[in-house]
Amino acid sequence: MTLSGNQKRKMRSAARFFAVQALFQMEAGAQTVDRVVKEFEDHRFGEVFDDYEMAEADVDLFRALMETAVNLQAKIDQMTDRALVAKWPIGRIDPTLRALFRAAGAELVDSDTPPKVVITEFVDIARAFFPESDEPKFANAVLDHMAREARPEAF
């Protein structure tokens, strides 16, 4: 079966969303990346929960985001810290946003996805997690700064 461009985009978006959830779960539950990746691949992608069908995800992108976010976490966190106001180091921000910045940072430092696409995708994820707040605007500003640092040639 050949996937359409729209199906591929949806699967890539789902991979990004699941990566944020998985990184949050790793931090909250002190779990290893291998365990969390296996759980997501075996029990989340395409599964049905209470009549809600979870999306299928681009497994390769999900794995790449997780691996890069974990292996380059210090570099990504430092990049995030530089994008934040001095009084708000990454350790003080909401853990969901921290996971989002790590997943987005992973894609910014280790992919050929255009930075503006990465920013748009992850701001959309911020909207899903924070529908009635200013976090998506905050995420947009931080991600823009991170993207300009990680890939200045794209701007």
Q: What is the pLDDT of residues 3-47, one digit of tens each?
A: 777 888 888 998 999 999 999 999 888 888 999 999 888 877 776
Please give the structure tokens belonging to residue 136: 């998506």
* pTM for this entry: 0.88
Which segments in the chain show pLDDT lower than 50? none
For the chain, what are the domain ranges? 5-150
Give the integer Cα–Cα distance in Å for 92 and 48.
Answer: 35
Domain 5-150 has CATH 1.10.940.10: yes
Give the integer Cα–Cα distance in Å for 42 and 38.
Answer: 6
